[in-house]
Every structure is written in C-alpha cells, then in structure tokens.
Amino acid sequence: MSSLETANSYFEQAADVMGLSSNMRTLLKTPLREVKVQVALEMDDGHISTLIGYRVQHDKARGPMKGGLRFHPEVDDDEVQALATLMSWKTAVVNIPYGGAKGGITVDTHKLSAGELERVTRKFVDEIHDVIGPDKDIPAPDMGTNAQVMAWIMNQYEKFHGFNPACVTGKPVELHGADGREEATGRGVAVLTRTLFEHQKRDLAGARIAIQGFGNVGSFAAKFLCEMGAKVTATSDAHGGLVNEEGIDIAELIRYHDEHKTVKDFPGADAVSNTEILTADVDVLIPAAIGGVLNAENARDVRAQYVIEAANNPTEPEADEIFEQRNILVLPDILANAGGVTVSYFEWVQNRQHFRWELDRVRSELDRILAAGFNRVVTIAEEKKVSLRVAAYILGIGRVGRATVLAGL
C-alpha cells in the first residue's frame, strides 16, 4: 500500500467517526499547493546529475505551514503528499500554530560528497525560495537532512530575502538554532512512552525495548529511555540489527555509531537482521526509520505489547487492524514523534523574538505540550471507544476543520 493510501485510510476512519461530509473530506484532504522542481547538480567529477525536488503545502488554516525536508532515494510525489497531510494533523494534535507541509529530494545522500550535498541544497532553495518563508512555510530536518543542511537553507534563503533565521528550523545551535531541538523527537518519544506506561499503571523501569533505526530519532529515544530505567535489548540500522537480552550499552553504542556510522558489528551484542528487530521478544517496539515497515506480512509476529511510532507512517492499515485485534496498543506517529516539530516551534519563536531559551525551559515546555496532547487523545479514545490513532486523527482533523470553517473560504 502506498504512503498516501495509508494516510487516507486513517483519515477516512476518523472522518467516519466524526460524521464529516464528503465535501469537507475533499476540502481537508486536498493539498493547497504542490511544487515539483528540477534540481540540476554539477557533480565533483564534472558530470551533471538531474534530481527532482518536492514541496507539498497541505493546509494553512491554523498558521504558516511546517514540515521537514527528506533527502532519500524513495522520496516521490505520493510520499511527500502523505507526509505533508500528517504534518497538518500533527501540528494540530499538539496545538501549535502551524499548518502542514513536507518536502524532499529523491537522492541517496550517502553517494554525495559534502560539496555536492551543499550544492544540491542551495539549488533546491533557489527553486522554492519564493514559496517558503517564516510566515508561509518553514522547512526543518527529516531523514537524510540535518542541522548543517538547515544552515545552508537559511544562508541561501537570506541571499534572496535578507536576514531571517526563522525561515527554517533545526539549525545548528551556533547559528540561531535552539538548544534541545536535535534531541527533541527522540526525547519526546521517550517521554510519551513513559506517560503511556504511567497511564497503563505499568513501570517503565526494566521494560524491554526494540528500536528499529539508530539515526537522530532512534538514538536519542534509546538514550532517554535508558535514563528512565528501560532496557534497549534490540536495535538496528539499514546495515543490520543487534540483540542483547541484558540490555545494550547505549552510551557505548552511540560512541561506536559516531565512529563507524553504523551499529553493525558492535561488539556488545549479537547480530540479527534489520527486520528481525520488528518481531523481537520485547515489551515495546519503536519503529524509528522508514514508513510501511509494519504490514500484513509481519503484524501477527510482533511480540511487543506497545508500538510507539517514532517514524512517520510506519504501520499499514492491515497491520493496525491486526494490532487492535491482538490488543497491541499503538501510540500513533502524529502524537508520538511530535516532539520534533514542537521544539521547531520554540526555535521559530526564539528567532522571532531574538531571545534564547535555556535547555530546561525547552524541555519543560515540550513536556507540558506533549502531556496535553496525550491527555486529549486518551480522553477522545475513551469517550468515542476508538483507538489512540483514530482519536489523534479526530483531534487533528477537528482542529483544522474548525479553523477552516471559522476563517471562511
């Protein structure tokens, strides 16, 4: 199933419970603008590579549009559109004053030199600078992009529009970035996992956790969950997986990953395949990599009782249904990974006020916002007797829908 079919299927499930008219469904699902551009790049060896870049701006009823930029070989129209709609619901679930957007370039960054990555980024900004901006649409990191890429985006945008660091978030701390932005998505995943356990009257201390993906989100989630007393017994990246029933030493693994750029062959654990991580014998499964990894083929083999969606769109609807039948509780992406965009919002606020917050303030404001989103979603799930995912969609779609109706067309 495509990413867009997955996102639409969850939208329709919530819209059915809400009793939304078909006209309203079409209005809310249709993106405001889709931009697709040529990104022509001169490679270091002199040959020309022609890449395709995307920016989909889905909805701006609640504020400027917001969402990451993904540089990955699987980026296409369908995926970017799906992820843009998820951003509209996500910003609404945590009630920050943004709409939703997403962008990307179909490229394998592992095959680019640093110079090529910089040129591709700047060329992309040349093509889209007039449709983005601090009051229009604010990009941020996603898979394959990082603080350095955001610094180049800011610098290139400012060549056209003048000083304006709020035009992009996730920047380096030394260049108008926010303390706590880099850790925010992973830390939010850990905080929400703990909140879910508290709500279930279970102790997170000693809980066994599997995390698929050890990039920015997976590694910070692992670090904070360990600090909270949980045990990460399985993890992986695109090159392979690791299992250690006693708990992997995450501080060591982070050091190993910094040096080798992979978790593969880490001496403190046994090697398994990347996909075996999904069916590991654990209490909590955290997909923190690409979309669509939990599907009809493997959902019956998942042994965790909780799935925390750190990745965007990791669960296909068939798997979601199987999890519901099997009483596996899923904390959906549009809440579980909303820590990143929430701290992006704090960065944007700080840039606009020219006032820097301390890390403690960033963390405590983030915790407050995530707790409010969690409580609201749980209340809707209990009242309407629906899953946490359908409840989160009801909350997000409801807030976007009300803003749309109040403003008028």
In this complex, which beta carbon is closest to ligand GLU, that of residue 87 or of residue 253?
87
CB of 340 to ligand GLU, least distance (A): 4
In this complex, which beta carbon is closest to ligand GLU, that of residue 316 or of residue 333?
333
Distance CA 251, CA 226 (A): 9
Distance CA 283, CA 342 (A): 27
SS3 of the chain: helix, strand, coil, percent, to 5: 50, 20, 30
CB of 342 to ligand GLU, least distance (A): 8
Report the 10 Å Cβ neighbour count for 169. Answer: 31
* Catalytic residue status for 384: no
Distance CA 167, CA 288 (A): 27
Q: Could you list the residues that contact ligand GLU (CB under 6 A)? A: 66-68, 140, 142, 169-170, 312, 337, 340-341, 344
CB of 265 to ligand GLU, least distance (A): 29
Strand partners, 242: 235, 271
Tokens of 297: 């083929």
In this complex, which beta carbon is closest to ligand GLU, that of residue 83 or of residue 282?
83
CB of 228 to ligand GLU, least distance (A): 22
How far is the first Cα of the chain from the last one, in angstroms, to the nearest whole number?
33
CB 310 within 8 A of CB 212: no
Q: Please, which residues have CB within 8 angstroms of residue 360's CB and are 6 or more apart in sequence?
A: none
CB of 399 to ligand GLU, least distance (A): 17
DSSP H stretches of helix in 231-275? 250-260
In this complex, which beta carbon is closest to ligand GLU, that of residue 225 or of residue 310?
310
Name the residue number minimizing CB distance to ligand GLU. 68
Tokens of 238: 């695109």
User: Which 3 state secondary structure label does DSSP give 96?
Assistant: coil
Beta strands in 199-311 (DSSP E): 208-212, 231-237, 240-243, 270-272, 284-287, 306-308
CB of 255 to ligand GLU, least distance (A): 26
Active-site pick, 60, 66, 90, 102: 102
In this complex, which beta carbon is closest to ligand GLU, that of residue 172 or of residue 268?
172
In this complex, which beta carbon is closest to ligand GLU, that of residue 173 or of residue 271?
173
Please give the positions annotated as active site: 102
